[in-house]
A and B are shown apart, each in its own frame.
Chain A
């Protein structure tokens, strides 16, 4: 087991080595504004039996959790996903292995039953670096996971700092759990938002090698356009008591476009809500060395309560009226009719290319609209239910120069869903979601059947149908009787 703790300040901020106190048990320093990332790496043998058995049976398992509370990200930790619990998964040779029970226990999920029922399949013919399955569910907090992690990381006898550190997971804005058969290691990465905090880090356990960095982005003159530079202080607990300065650079897959956006539903939502994106600028990121190849995309993770209709999103006229260019990916086989209560798969993924206005008025806010459709939801006592829809991830996808790959990025974050839908040399320039209410989730009020008024539905429907039926039968009898009379009259006349 080893640990890496990183504080990332904004470009230009730095800290004097003398301000830090380092000893074998931890690091103490002043309060600064920074992002904190903790990364724990486990060998398979260091894991509890249940988890080990599961991981030995899978090929790839990547959990990506994102908080619904808006947070500020700092370069290079910029990768974004829609908030909620994402799973990107490739089964091993035994396809019957089911990760759902353990994940349900660890994260407090409620809709993961098995890969065949709950997961969607991803296109693996497109790019080889994609996993084969995807699962998602809205998950507002890591409370359940903090509880699970405490039993995993802090066995009886651990220092109290262990428990409090695990407890702080509930304040994290992102959490990653990554395993693949090539590395044979499980990586647990948690990220806390950019905020004032004291530079303090303590050992989880004396047996763990712990590396600590206090870094910020820098732009030395020698930097290539596709690279970012990092400078700061590094130390390994127990090995030295003075942090050593460092400076390095690498190409980064996730960059900041310095634009922002908001997403909200246009009222009235009805049963066909339209999600409107308000985007601060129509211009591609000026800093991108390959600006002309950049296309603005939206990556949507839509729970099963609502869905996009790919046939509707097929017509160029319709798309351009919504400032959209085309659907680049949509989960195949989305049922366009089934109510929620008979739908077992988690929902659907949509990758849309947006069409920014061509005007020279760069920096002018513009909008794009995404038409969606609600499924029938179960009846309620009020006549309404809520459907929560996570913010999409918006980014300019730019093709990097030939030969650029992303090795050597110590902060590389992959398996974020959309990266599997682009070539390996794509750089994602993210737009910063900035909701007015600070929540990265929109809520739609869905009209449903009101159970309070439903007591008599069966009886009255039955009665009205029977009455209607009886009326028609009486009229038929009338015809029979009249017909009989007529025949009789005819006979009489003949006589």
Chain B
């Protein structure tokens, strides 16, 4: 690992002059205080959730967690997890949560077993945070790396989502592990992780082009002299293509594709068509676009509910995948991956979520895990006011949407037009602007 010069030297006296900041410094000096507090933080959330579930008709536990655990129960009885309606995940998730289906007869033990999944998701958070620190430490000293990892580790939103039993935390650790493996040049591990993550939640496929593009000869085998640099002639197109196909790239492609297909074939052999339908095809054929942050939402409601002939409006939603996939799998990786792989992955995820046909706040976690890797060199941190303004805009646009959503959902006011629609367009605008800033920060 190469650290920038100047790290490890004693801090200038200014930072240790005040008691508060010396306390902060001590907190980040060693890993234990941070990880211990992150763990306790989640434990408190978890225990509070158990209390609320046991004492209030309003549940802390996410409805999805009941879906996972019901599916795990079916699996434990030797049945298909897809017997549980709205289970739209890989069977691996239900297998992972098998302990939640374990019943001992002792009430306290049963609650503990049932909470296994939440513990697993919370531990995934911590591991993702630890990997974050490792990746950050490649370009800064450990205490500073931990300081940025805190954005994830002590983030109440992250802790809430995983202790309520949402599986997005698992994705966080998979994606961080993937990035770490790539940066460590562990191609086999990276291929396995990539194949598995795409099997798990599809969207990580967007990282494949960025990683492949990043894995050029200079990076993967810096000691070898490049054949092209010897000749003065510019390389021909064929040579370029041949040059592009390097052993590590082939290895990554082969291993990730093998992992992905093996898992899918295995699941298909075990669970048949419901696996394909629920895990993958559902996302293509679904017509249940209840209101969400996506800019396409209103248009989708309009076009799916009206007979084909009567709607004269343009069917833009049919082309919705174009801006989304062009940005997240072609343009952003091509331009930014070689300059900064973590920032490229952040921008790709941000673009993917922003331009998706369905967008809920759980998806924000997908890019939040990558955020601490970008922030250290971002204009948002360099200019704190600018950063704060961006955060406020992001929150306000969401708040406006949520307010309109509340009026619709709970008061029964027809706010689809123009309220919800305009709020979702404004949110798109804010997100595009932030995305532009992130991309502009790539040097």
Taking Cβ atoms with an 8 Å cutoff, the residues of A that contact B are: 268-272, 311, 315, 317-318, 321-322, 333, 335-339, 341-342, 376, 378-379, 383-384, 445-450, 453-455, 457-462, 464-469, 471-476, 478-480, 482-483, 486
List B404-443 residues whose CB lies under 8 Å from chain A. Answer: 408-418, 421, 425, 428-429, 431-433, 435-437, 439-440, 442-443
Binds A, one of B4-12, B191-199, B271-279, B293-301: B293-301
B63 lies within 8 A of A311 (CB): yes
Tell me which residues across on chain B come within 8 A of A466, comparing CB atoms: 323
A454 lies within 8 A of B302 (CB): yes
A333 lies within 8 A of B85 (CB): yes
Q: Kindly report which residue of chain A lies nearest to residue B286, judged by CB atoms.
A: A337
How far does the alpha carbon of A461 sit from the alpha carbon of B425 in the complex, in Å?
7
From B306, B335, B412, A270 is in contact (CB under 8 Å) with B412
Tell me which residues across on chain B come within 8 A of A378, comparing CB atoms: 305-306
From A337, A461, A474, B86 is in contact (CB under 8 Å) with A337
How far does the alpha carbon of A378 sit from the alpha carbon of B301 in the complex, in Å?
8
B301 lies within 8 A of A449 (CB): yes
From B296, B429, B437, A461 is in contact (CB under 8 Å) with B296
Tell me which residues across on chain B come within 8 A of A268, comparing CB atoms: 410-412
How far does the alpha carbon of A446 sit from the alpha carbon of B412 in the complex, in Å?
7
Cβ contacts A to B, 23 pairs, < 8 Å = A271-B408, A271-B409, A336-B85, A337-B290, A376-B305, A379-B301, A379-B305, A383-B414, A448-B416, A454-B313, A457-B302, A457-B421, A458-B302, A461-B296, A461-B316, A464-B425, A464-B428, A465-B296, A468-B429, A472-B331, A475-B435, A475-B439, A478-B439
A478 lies within 8 A of B287 (CB): no
Tell me which residues across on chain B come within 8 A of A335, comparing CB atoms: 85
How far does the alpha carbon of A341 sit from the alpha carbon of B287 in the complex, in Å?
10
Select the residue from A271, A318, A475 with max chain B CB neighbours within 10 A.
A475
Tell me which residues across on chain A come within 8 A of B270, comparing CB atoms: none
> How far is the CB of A153 from the nearest CB of chain B, in Å?
39
On whether A472 and B417 interact (CB within 8 A), knowing A270-B410, A445-B412, A449-B302, the answer reads: no
**A-B residue pairs, 9 tightest by C-beta:** A383-B414, A458-B313, A468-B432, A447-B414, A337-B288, A321-B57, A475-B436, A469-B323, A453-B417
B66 lies within 8 A of A461 (CB): no
How far does the alpha carbon of A186 sit from the alpha carbon of B320 in the complex, in Å?
57
> How far is the CB of B295 from the nearest CB of chain A, in Å?
6
Tell me which residues across on chain A come within 8 A of B295, comparing CB atoms: 461, 464-465
List B32-86 residues whose CB lies under 8 Å from chain A. Answer: 54-57, 59, 63, 66, 70, 85-86
Select the residue from A315, A466, A479 with max chain B CB neighbours within 10 A.
A479
Tell me which residues across on chain B come within 8 A of A483, comparing CB atoms: 335, 339
Determine whether B351 belongs to the interface, using a CB cutoff of 8 Å to chain A. yes
> How far is the CB of A412 from the nearest CB of chain B, in Å?
38
> How far is the CB of B442 from the nearest CB of chain A, in Å?
5
Q: Kindly report which residue of chain A lies nearest to residue B313, judged by CB atoms.
A: A458
How far does the alpha carbon of A376 sit from the alpha carbon of B417 in the complex, in Å?
15
A480 lies within 8 A of B335 (CB): yes
Taking Cβ atoms with an 8 Å cutoff, the residues of B that contact A are: 54-57, 59, 63, 66, 70, 85-86, 287-288, 290, 295-296, 298-299, 301-306, 313-316, 320, 323, 326-327, 331-332, 335-336, 339, 351, 354-355, 408-418, 421, 425, 428-429, 431-433, 435-437, 439-440, 442-443
On whether A271 and B412 interact (CB within 8 A), knowing A317-B56, A341-B304, A462-B316, the answer reads: yes
Known pairs A449-B298, A472-B327, A472-B351. 18 more at Cβ < 8 A?
Answer: A269-B412, A271-B409, A321-B57, A447-B408, A449-B301, A453-B418, A455-B313, A458-B302, A461-B299, A461-B421, A461-B425, A462-B314, A466-B323, A472-B435, A475-B439, A479-B336, A479-B440, A483-B335
Tell me which residues across on chain A come within 8 A of B287, comparing CB atoms: 338-339, 342
How far does the alpha carbon of A270 sit from the alpha carbon of B412 in the complex, in Å?
4
Tell me which residues across on chain A come within 8 A of B302, comparing CB atoms: 379, 449, 454, 457-458
How far does the alpha carbon of A455 sit from the alpha carbon of B313 in the complex, in Å?
8
> How far is the CB of B136 from the nearest CB of chain A, in Å?
22
How far does the alpha carbon of A338 sit from the alpha carbon of B85 in the complex, in Å?
12
B410 lies within 8 A of A317 (CB): no
> How far is the CB of A253 from the nearest CB of chain B, in Å?
35
A317 lies within 8 A of B54 (CB): yes
How far does the alpha carbon of A475 sit from the alpha carbon of B305 in the complex, in Å?
37
Q: Kindly report which residue of chain A lies nearest to residue B415, judged by CB atoms.
A: A447
How far does the alpha carbon of A459 sit from the alpha carbon of B421 in the complex, in Å?
13
How far does the alpha carbon of A337 sit from the alpha carbon of B278 in the complex, in Å?
14
A465 lies within 8 A of B428 (CB): yes
A479 lies within 8 A of B413 (CB): no
Select the residue from A311, A468, A471, A473 with max chain B CB neighbours within 10 A.
A468
B66 lies within 8 A of A476 (CB): no
From A337, A468, A479, B335 is in contact (CB under 8 Å) with A479
A465 lies within 8 A of B355 (CB): yes
Tell me which residues across on chain A come within 8 A of B305, comparing CB atoms: 339, 341, 376, 378-379, 449
How far does the alpha carbon of A473 sit from the alpha carbon of B327 in the complex, in Å?
8
Q: Kindly report which residue of chain B lies nearest to residue A453, judged by CB atoms.
A: B417
Q: Kindly report which residue of chain A lies nearest to residue B436, judged by CB atoms.
A: A475
Tell me which residues across on chain A come within 8 A of B428, comparing CB atoms: 464-465, 468
A338 lies within 8 A of B335 (CB): no
B411 lies within 8 A of A317 (CB): no
Tell me which residues across on chain A come within 8 A of B54, comparing CB atoms: 317
B433 lies within 8 A of A471 (CB): yes
Tell me which residues across on chain B come within 8 A of A482, comparing CB atoms: 443
Q: Kindly report which residue of chain B lies nearest to residue A466, judged by CB atoms.
A: B323
Tell me which residues across on chain B come within 8 A of A315, comparing CB atoms: 57, 59
Q: Kindly report which residue of chain A lies nearest to residue B411, judged by CB atoms.
A: A268
A376 lies within 8 A of B290 (CB): yes
Select the residue from A335, A445, A461, A467 with max chain B CB neighbours within 10 A.
A461
Q: Kindly report which residue of chain A lies nearest to residue B441, judged by CB atoms.
A: A479
On whether A450 and B414 interact (CB within 8 A), knowing A317-B56, A339-B288, A376-B290, the answer reads: yes
> How far is the CB of B374 from the nearest CB of chain A, in Å?
14
How far does the alpha carbon of A474 sit from the alpha carbon of B437 in the complex, in Å?
11
Tell me which residues across on chain A come within 8 A of B425, comparing CB atoms: 460-461, 464
A457 lies within 8 A of B313 (CB): yes
B331 lies within 8 A of A473 (CB): yes
A270 lies within 8 A of B411 (CB): yes
Q: Kindly report which residue of chain A lies nearest to residue B442, judged by CB atoms.
A: A479
> How far is the CB of A211 from the nearest CB of chain B, in Å?
52
> How far is the CB of B400 from the nearest CB of chain A, in Å?
15
Q: Kindly report which residue of chain B lies nearest to residue A379, judged by CB atoms.
A: B305
How far does the alpha carbon of A454 sit from the alpha carbon of B314 in the complex, in Å?
12
Tell me which residues across on chain B come within 8 A of A462, comparing CB atoms: 314, 316
B439 lies within 8 A of A479 (CB): yes
B440 lies within 8 A of A447 (CB): no
Tell me which residues across on chain A come within 8 A of B442, comparing CB atoms: 479
From A317, A336, A448, A460, B414 is in contact (CB under 8 Å) with A448
B417 lies within 8 A of A457 (CB): yes
> How far is the CB of A248 from the nearest CB of chain B, in Å?
51
How far does the alpha carbon of A384 sit from the alpha carbon of B412 in the complex, in Å?
9
Tell me which residues across on chain A come within 8 A of B55, comparing CB atoms: 317
From B56, B316, B335, A476 is in contact (CB under 8 Å) with B335
Tell me which residues across on chain B come within 8 A of A475, comparing CB atoms: 435-437, 439-440
Tell me which residues across on chain B come within 8 A of A318, comparing CB atoms: 57, 59
Tell me which residues across on chain A come within 8 A of B290, comparing CB atoms: 337, 376
From A336, A341, A472, B432 is in contact (CB under 8 Å) with A472
> How far is the CB of A267 from the nearest CB of chain B, in Å?
8
How far does the alpha carbon of A333 sit from the alpha carbon of B85 in the complex, in Å?
7
Q: Kindly report which residue of chain B lies nearest to residue A317, judged by CB atoms.
A: B57
From B303, B327, B414, B417, A384 is in contact (CB under 8 Å) with B414
A339 lies within 8 A of B304 (CB): yes
Q: Kindly report which residue of chain B lies nearest to residue A267, judged by CB atoms.
A: B412
